[in-house]
Amino acid sequence: MKIKIPATSANLGPGFDCLGLSLNLHNEVQIKKARISSVKIKGEGEDNIYLKRNNPFLRLFDELYLGLTGEKSSFRFEFNNQIPLSRGLGSSSAVVVGAVVAAYAMAGKDFDKQGILNSALPYEKHPDNIAPATLGGFVCSVVESSQVFSIKSEIDNDLRAVMVIPNAHISTKKSRANLPKSVHFKDAVFNLAHSSFLTACFLQKRYDLLRLASIDTLHQNTRMKNLPALFKVQKLALEKGALMSVLSGSGSSFLNIIYKNEAKTLAQKLQNEFKDFKIKIMEFDNKGFEIC
């Protein structure tokens, strides 16, 4: 069995912990019953010995498989990973969603996307990456009584993400710990308004208003100060036609959304200016995880 899980970009500016979208860049894992357990990794993480010895996907899969079947079994896992690790592109969520799907499928249990999303929630308590990794597209989510409620909207094929990917690895846990413990009422109101407005823009395809809608007052500035070049990335991207330019999740990557026919020019301008950063043009994914 092969599972394909997309990369994701969370927050989208003001939608802290609730908004996210899915990108056409995937991790794949092929799983077969075997006499002894083994792991092969190609792509991102292939040189990381820790990922072979103490793989988070396997740890979660084993726990869930045991819970579902009451027994341990041996499998061969072959990973083909395209999602960069710890750069705000949802690599951890891809692990969580992939392991949950794999455990249900290999245990021979029936499942649907909603069930997978609810089962993934205990392992990543904010749904802004796991929801688009499951459903694809633009997704707005709330959590109530340990259940995720999501509304999804497909993203038009004439849009592209021009992703700026610095070398800096960011731990989401540490990055969250550095955020202020309380915020001003007016900043909270500002983000509520902008996050709601941003959702309406995606649902009604009012991409012309994304720049206004994507302003944040809660987390981006604090986080971008750790990598000040990101302020210049944002300025240049907005000057050169990006519809919106925001920190991807907790960083370090930056998500720029632009019309397809302008994506190459923007990518080149960014690459000329920021030679140390990787710049990638990506399509959006409207499907979420798939079993192939």
Residue placing its CB nearer to ligand HSE in the complex, 82 or 172: 172
Sheet containing 254-259: which strands, arranged edge to edge?
A: 244-247, 254-259, 159-165, 278-282
Residue 134, CB-side half-sphere exposure with 13 Å CA sphere: 32
Instruction: State the minimum distance, in angstroms, from the CB of residue 126 to ligand HSE.
Output: 5
Q: Which is nearer to ligand HSE, 220 or 256 (CB)?
A: 220
Site string for ligand HSE, 127-156 (x = CB under 6 A): -xx---------------------------
Nearer to ligand HSE (CB atom), residue 53 or residue 173: 173
Q: Which DSSP symbol is given to 123? A: G
Distances (CA, A) of 35 to 62, 67, 76, 109: 15, 21, 9, 22
Closer by beta carbon to ligand HSE, 28 or else 216 = 216
| 145 torsion bin: left (phi>0), alpha (psi -120 to 50), beta (else) | left
**What's the rounded Cα separation, in Å, for the pair 162 and 167?**
16
Task: Count interface residues toward ligand HSE (CB under 6 A).
Answer: 11
Task: Name which of residues 202 to 231 contact ligand HSE (CB under 6 A).
Answer: none
**Burial classification of residue 138, based on how many CB atoms lie within 10 Å of its CB (0-12 exposed, 13-18 middle, 19 or more buried):** buried
Residue nearest to ligand HSE (CB): 249
Backbone angles phi, psi at 234, to 5 degrees: -65, -45
**Applying CB under 6 A, which part among 65-73, 126-134, 186-194, 271-279 lies near ligand HSE?**
126-134
Contact 4, 292 (CB under 8 A): yes
Region 231-260 residues binding ligand HSE, contact defined as CB under 6 A: 249-250
Q: Which is nearer to ligand HSE, 5 or 236 (CB)?
A: 5
Minimum CB separation of residue 219 from ligand HSE in Å reads 6
Q: Does 44 bind ligand HSE (CB under 6 A)?
A: no
Shortest separation between residue 224's beta carbon and ligand HSE, angstroms: 12
Binding site for ligand HSE (CB under 6 A): 10-11, 16-17, 126, 128-129, 172, 176, 249-250
